[in-house]
Amino acid sequence: MTIDSKSGGEAPETGPRRQLYGRSKGKALRAAQVGRMATMLPALAIDVAALKDEPAALFSGQPEALMLEIGFGGGEHLAAMAKLHPEIGYFGVEPFLNGVAKLLAAIEQDGLTNIRALRGDAREVLAALPDASLDRVYLLYPDPWPKRRQRKRRIVDDDFLAEVARVLKQGCELRFATDIDDYAGWTLARIAQQDTLVWCAETADDWRQPWPEWHRTRYEEKALREGRVPGYFRFRRHALG
Protein backbone atom coordinates (compact mmCIF):
# COMPACT_ATOMS: atom_id res chain seq x y z
CA MET A 1 0.00 0.00 0.00
CA THR A 2 1.01 3.64 0.19
CA ILE A 3 0.55 6.66 2.40
CA ASP A 4 -2.87 8.28 1.87
CA SER A 5 -6.75 9.44 0.77
CA LYS A 6 -10.79 9.18 -0.23
CA SER A 7 -14.46 10.54 -0.94
CA GLY A 8 -16.30 11.60 -4.05
CA GLY A 9 -17.18 15.09 -5.06
CA GLU A 10 -15.95 17.17 -2.17
CA ALA A 11 -13.70 20.18 -2.63
CA PRO A 12 -10.00 19.26 -2.42
CA GLU A 13 -7.98 19.98 0.68
CA THR A 14 -5.48 22.83 0.49
CA GLY A 15 -2.60 23.89 2.70
CA PRO A 16 1.06 23.16 3.38
CA ARG A 17 2.77 19.89 2.50
CA ARG A 18 1.55 17.15 4.81
CA GLN A 19 3.45 14.74 6.98
CA LEU A 20 3.49 10.99 6.41
CA TYR A 21 0.82 9.01 8.24
CA GLY A 22 0.46 5.35 9.10
CA ARG A 23 2.84 2.74 10.46
CA SER A 24 6.52 3.06 9.70
CA LYS A 25 7.40 -0.48 10.80
CA GLY A 26 5.84 -3.75 11.89
CA LYS A 27 7.38 -6.92 13.28
CA ALA A 28 11.04 -6.90 14.16
CA LEU A 29 13.20 -7.71 11.15
CA ARG A 30 14.93 -11.06 10.96
CA ALA A 31 18.72 -11.16 10.92
CA ALA A 32 18.88 -11.65 7.15
CA GLN A 33 16.58 -8.66 6.62
CA VAL A 34 18.67 -6.49 8.91
CA GLY A 35 21.74 -7.52 6.95
CA ARG A 36 20.19 -6.55 3.61
CA MET A 37 19.07 -3.21 4.99
CA ALA A 38 22.64 -2.52 6.12
CA THR A 39 24.48 -3.74 3.03
CA MET A 40 22.10 -3.53 0.07
CA LEU A 41 19.97 -0.48 0.70
CA PRO A 42 22.81 2.09 0.81
CA ALA A 43 23.98 0.93 -2.63
CA LEU A 44 20.45 0.99 -4.06
CA ALA A 45 19.21 4.11 -2.31
CA ILE A 46 17.73 6.96 -4.32
CA ASP A 47 19.99 9.98 -4.05
CA VAL A 48 17.29 12.66 -3.97
CA ALA A 49 19.77 15.47 -4.58
CA ALA A 50 21.11 13.72 -7.69
CA LEU A 51 17.62 13.43 -9.19
CA LYS A 52 17.64 17.13 -10.01
CA ASP A 53 20.43 16.69 -12.56
CA GLU A 54 19.98 13.40 -14.38
CA PRO A 55 17.74 10.70 -12.86
CA ALA A 56 18.93 8.06 -15.33
CA ALA A 57 22.48 8.47 -13.98
CA LEU A 58 21.41 6.69 -10.78
CA PHE A 59 21.37 3.45 -12.78
CA SER A 60 24.27 1.60 -14.34
CA GLY A 61 24.11 1.85 -18.11
CA GLN A 62 21.45 3.98 -19.77
CA PRO A 63 17.87 2.80 -19.10
CA GLU A 64 15.46 3.10 -22.02
CA ALA A 65 12.76 4.54 -19.74
CA LEU A 66 12.24 5.57 -16.10
CA MET A 67 9.28 4.61 -13.93
CA LEU A 68 8.29 5.34 -10.34
CA GLU A 69 6.15 3.25 -8.01
CA ILE A 70 4.79 5.21 -5.06
CA GLY A 71 4.15 3.12 -1.96
CA PHE A 72 5.32 -0.25 -3.28
CA GLY A 73 4.17 -2.20 -0.20
CA GLY A 74 6.01 -5.51 -0.19
CA GLY A 75 7.49 -4.80 -3.62
CA GLU A 76 5.69 -7.61 -5.46
CA HIS A 77 4.65 -5.46 -8.42
CA LEU A 78 7.85 -3.43 -8.51
CA ALA A 79 10.14 -6.47 -8.50
CA ALA A 80 8.03 -8.29 -11.08
CA MET A 81 8.12 -5.33 -13.47
CA ALA A 82 11.86 -4.84 -13.00
CA LYS A 83 12.46 -8.53 -13.74
CA LEU A 84 10.25 -8.38 -16.83
CA HIS A 85 11.89 -5.20 -18.15
CA PRO A 86 15.61 -5.09 -17.32
CA GLU A 87 15.99 -2.30 -19.88
CA ILE A 88 13.87 0.07 -17.74
CA GLY A 89 14.99 1.88 -14.59
CA TYR A 90 12.53 1.66 -11.69
CA PHE A 91 12.35 4.00 -8.71
CA GLY A 92 10.39 2.76 -5.70
CA VAL A 93 9.43 4.68 -2.56
CA GLU A 94 7.83 3.16 0.54
CA PRO A 95 7.70 4.47 4.13
CA PHE A 96 7.10 1.04 5.73
CA LEU A 97 10.36 -0.54 6.87
CA ASN A 98 9.18 -4.13 6.52
CA GLY A 99 8.03 -3.51 2.95
CA VAL A 100 11.45 -2.19 1.99
CA ALA A 101 13.03 -5.29 3.57
CA LYS A 102 10.80 -7.55 1.46
CA LEU A 103 11.74 -5.70 -1.71
CA LEU A 104 15.45 -6.14 -0.96
CA ALA A 105 14.91 -9.90 -0.59
CA ALA A 106 13.28 -10.01 -4.04
CA ILE A 107 16.09 -7.94 -5.53
CA GLU A 108 18.65 -10.34 -4.09
CA GLN A 109 16.76 -13.46 -5.13
CA ASP A 110 16.34 -12.39 -8.77
CA GLY A 111 19.61 -10.48 -9.11
CA LEU A 112 17.80 -7.27 -10.10
CA THR A 113 20.02 -4.33 -10.95
CA ASN A 114 17.43 -1.85 -12.27
CA ILE A 115 15.69 -0.78 -9.05
CA ARG A 116 16.56 2.20 -6.87
CA ALA A 117 14.61 2.49 -3.63
CA LEU A 118 13.91 4.94 -0.85
CA ARG A 119 12.29 4.43 2.52
CA GLY A 120 10.45 7.69 2.92
CA ASP A 121 8.04 10.15 1.35
CA ALA A 122 7.48 9.90 -2.41
CA ARG A 123 6.55 13.58 -2.52
CA GLU A 124 10.22 14.42 -1.87
CA VAL A 125 11.21 12.37 -4.90
CA LEU A 126 8.54 13.98 -7.06
CA ALA A 127 9.66 17.45 -6.00
CA ALA A 128 13.28 16.67 -6.91
CA LEU A 129 12.63 15.16 -10.34
CA PRO A 130 13.07 17.34 -13.44
CA ASP A 131 10.11 18.18 -15.65
CA ALA A 132 9.07 15.45 -18.11
CA SER A 133 11.57 12.94 -16.74
CA LEU A 134 9.38 9.86 -16.13
CA ASP A 135 7.68 7.46 -18.51
CA ARG A 136 5.18 6.13 -15.96
CA VAL A 137 4.06 6.55 -12.35
CA TYR A 138 2.30 3.80 -10.40
CA LEU A 139 0.12 4.44 -7.34
CA LEU A 140 -1.25 1.06 -6.27
CA TYR A 141 -3.64 0.62 -3.36
CA PRO A 142 -2.78 3.74 -1.35
CA ASP A 143 -4.01 3.82 2.24
CA PRO A 144 -7.66 4.87 1.94
CA TRP A 145 -8.05 6.68 5.28
CA PRO A 146 -11.82 6.07 5.14
CA LYS A 147 -13.01 8.22 8.05
CA ARG A 148 -14.00 11.77 7.17
CA ARG A 149 -11.53 13.31 9.61
CA GLN A 150 -8.72 11.23 8.05
CA ARG A 151 -9.25 12.22 4.43
CA LYS A 152 -6.74 15.04 4.58
CA ARG A 153 -4.10 12.32 4.99
CA ARG A 154 -4.62 10.88 1.52
CA ILE A 155 -1.85 11.29 -0.98
CA VAL A 156 -4.12 12.17 -3.90
CA ASP A 157 -4.81 15.89 -3.92
CA ASP A 158 -4.35 18.79 -6.34
CA ASP A 159 -0.69 19.30 -5.42
CA PHE A 160 0.13 15.62 -5.84
CA LEU A 161 -1.56 15.39 -9.24
CA ALA A 162 0.16 18.57 -10.41
CA GLU A 163 3.56 17.15 -9.45
CA VAL A 164 2.86 13.83 -11.15
CA ALA A 165 1.77 15.66 -14.32
CA ARG A 166 4.91 17.81 -14.20
CA VAL A 167 7.34 14.88 -14.04
CA LEU A 168 5.56 12.73 -16.65
CA LYS A 169 6.52 13.00 -20.28
CA GLN A 170 3.78 14.01 -22.67
CA GLY A 171 1.61 11.00 -23.56
CA CYS A 172 2.82 8.96 -20.56
CA GLU A 173 0.64 7.66 -17.74
CA LEU A 174 -0.19 7.65 -14.06
CA ARG A 175 -1.61 4.21 -13.24
CA PHE A 176 -3.74 3.97 -10.13
CA ALA A 177 -5.40 0.94 -8.51
CA THR A 178 -7.74 0.82 -5.52
CA ASP A 179 -10.32 -1.55 -4.06
CA ILE A 180 -12.15 1.28 -2.29
CA ASP A 181 -15.00 2.83 -4.30
CA ASP A 182 -14.85 6.04 -2.32
CA TYR A 183 -11.16 6.50 -3.08
CA ALA A 184 -11.81 5.91 -6.76
CA GLY A 185 -14.49 8.61 -6.67
CA TRP A 186 -12.20 10.95 -4.72
CA THR A 187 -9.45 10.54 -7.29
CA LEU A 188 -11.69 10.90 -10.35
CA ALA A 189 -13.22 14.06 -8.89
CA ARG A 190 -9.77 15.60 -8.54
CA ILE A 191 -8.68 14.44 -11.98
CA ALA A 192 -11.73 16.21 -13.38
CA GLN A 193 -10.71 19.46 -11.66
CA GLN A 194 -7.34 19.68 -13.41
CA ASP A 195 -6.50 19.65 -17.10
CA THR A 196 -3.12 17.95 -17.57
CA LEU A 197 -4.05 14.35 -16.72
CA VAL A 198 -6.89 12.77 -18.68
CA TRP A 199 -8.70 9.55 -17.77
CA CYS A 200 -8.08 7.06 -20.56
CA ALA A 201 -11.20 4.90 -20.06
CA GLU A 202 -13.60 4.56 -22.98
CA THR A 203 -15.60 1.56 -21.70
CA ALA A 204 -16.30 0.13 -18.23
CA ASP A 205 -13.89 -2.74 -18.82
CA ASP A 206 -11.10 -0.17 -19.16
CA TRP A 207 -11.19 0.26 -15.39
CA ARG A 208 -12.62 -3.09 -14.35
CA GLN A 209 -9.83 -5.08 -15.97
CA PRO A 210 -6.14 -4.63 -15.09
CA TRP A 211 -3.83 -3.23 -17.71
CA PRO A 212 -1.41 -5.55 -19.58
CA GLU A 213 1.49 -6.93 -17.53
CA TRP A 214 -0.35 -6.30 -14.27
CA HIS A 215 1.20 -8.21 -11.38
CA ARG A 216 -1.10 -8.85 -8.44
CA THR A 217 0.05 -7.63 -5.03
CA ARG A 218 -0.52 -9.26 -1.66
CA TYR A 219 -2.86 -6.44 -0.79
CA GLU A 220 -4.99 -7.12 -3.86
CA GLU A 221 -5.16 -10.82 -3.00
CA LYS A 222 -6.42 -9.87 0.45
CA ALA A 223 -8.98 -7.46 -1.01
CA LEU A 224 -10.34 -10.16 -3.33
CA ARG A 225 -10.56 -12.68 -0.49
CA GLU A 226 -12.57 -10.16 1.50
CA GLY A 227 -14.93 -9.45 -1.41
CA ARG A 228 -13.67 -6.02 -2.48
CA VAL A 229 -13.49 -5.38 -6.21
CA PRO A 230 -10.42 -3.54 -7.52
CA GLY A 231 -10.53 -0.75 -10.06
CA TYR A 232 -7.64 0.00 -12.42
CA PHE A 233 -7.32 3.58 -13.67
CA ARG A 234 -5.01 5.04 -16.30
CA PHE A 235 -4.49 8.80 -16.61
CA ARG A 236 -2.51 10.17 -19.55
CA ARG A 237 -0.41 13.32 -19.49
CA HIS A 238 -1.25 15.64 -22.35
CA ALA A 239 -0.02 19.03 -23.43
CA LEU A 240 -2.00 22.16 -22.77
CA GLY A 241 -3.12 24.37 -25.62
| Residues with catalytic function | 143
Question: Could you give the CA distance from residue 69 to residue 78 in angstroms, rounded to a whole number?
Answer: 7
Reference 99, options 117, 78, 81, 74; nearest CA is: 74
- Residue 68 host element (H or E): strand 65-70
Question: Could you give the CA distance from residue 100 to residue 120 in angstroms, rounded to a whole number?
Answer: 10
> Which contacts qualify for 32-36: CB closer than 8 Å, 24 or more apart?
32/105, 33/101, 33/104, 33/105, 36/101, 36/104, 36/105, 36/108
Reference 37, options 98, 89, 109; nearest CA is: 98
Buried b (16+ CB within 10 A) or exposed e, 167-178: bbeeebbbbbbb
| Alpha-carbon dihedral sign for residues 197, 215, 156, 133 | negative
Reference 78, options 39, 132, 48, 118; nearest CA is: 118
Within a 13 Å sphere around the CA of 224, how many CA atoms are in the beta-carbon half? 8
